[in-house]
Amino acid sequence: MIFTAFFRALGQLGDRRFRRVLLLGVLLALALLAGFYAAFLQLIWWLTPDSIEIPFVGPVTGIETLLGWGSLLVMLALSVFLMVPVASVFTGLFLEDIVDAVEDRHYPALPPATPLPWAEALRQSVNFLGVVLAVNLGALFLYPFVGPFTPVLFWAVNGFLLGREYFTLVALRRLPPVEAAALRRRNRLRLWAAGTLMAAPLSIPVVNLVVPVLGVATFTHLFHRLAAAGR
């Protein structure tokens, strides 16, 4: 069921609405990452002295430039982790466009959905963003202890979070909150596995920019399959 949903989502990437949202998502992700990097670079410049005195050598200048270039490498590594909160913000902003495109193509007989109000979708995304940041900051303390299993821990933690968010936001368009939560609980392991499938590509630069679109589309298919099976 999970892979069927994923490949159906993948097969729709050429859809005009998918391409539009993908372009907007790429621009949003790049803007957020650039803004974070600019703030990080400014912090380095504020905290770094113009020169340092080294015994037998004398004053050495240009430290802030060296640290600035080094910070670029650090940011490239951190972008793997930053793409998780970026993906969560993206979901709240563009959810309706992707879900509508999927349902128009694959489920045309469905009655109209009740879209989440934009303010409510944004509120849920901001709340989820806080959870993602808190959980991932906590996980940073565990990564040094798990060694080669760090990617597995990253995928598992964020797979659970992404699976929960994607499914909940899609389900709330067609189910009351209580029913959406009950359906999610009954299928939590399957949703965790599907979320992990989305989290794994988040650790691959460039590829991770496509993940939010595929994630929303995949969980739209999963929701309809699970909702139909639960009737």
Q: Are 192 and 70 in contact (CB under 8 A)?
A: no
Q: Are 223 and 167 in contact (CB under 8 A)?
A: yes
pLDDT, residue 144, reads 80
The tens digit of pLDDT for each residue in 159-169 reads 888 888 889 88
The tens digit of pLDDT for each residue in 116-157 reads 777 776 677 777 777 777 777 787 788 788 888 888 888 888
pLDDT, residue 23, reads 80
**Residue 206 confidence (pLDDT) above 50:** yes
* Mean pLDDT over the full length of the chain: 76
For residues 105 and 217, what is the distance between their CA atoms, to the nearest angstrom? 11
pLDDT, residue 187, reads 92
pLDDT, residue 76, reads 61
Determine what percent of the chain is predicted with pLDDT higher than 90.
Answer: 9
For 81, the token pair is: 């982790």
For 76, the token pair is: 């490239």
pLDDT, residue 115, reads 74
pLDDT, residue 211, reads 81
**Residue 104 confidence (pLDDT) above 80:** yes
Q: Give the C-alpha distances (Å, rounded to integers) separating 17 from 24, 26, 93, 150, 198.
A: 11, 14, 14, 36, 20
pLDDT, residue 18, reads 84
Q: Are 123 and 167 in contact (CB under 8 A)?
A: no
Q: What residues does each domain of the chain span?
A: 2-229
**Residue 9 confidence (pLDDT) above 60:** yes
The tens digit of pLDDT for each residue in 180-202 reads 889 999 999 999 999 998 888 87
**Residue 55 confidence (pLDDT) above 60:** no
pLDDT, residue 60, reads 40
Whole-structure pTM value: 0.76
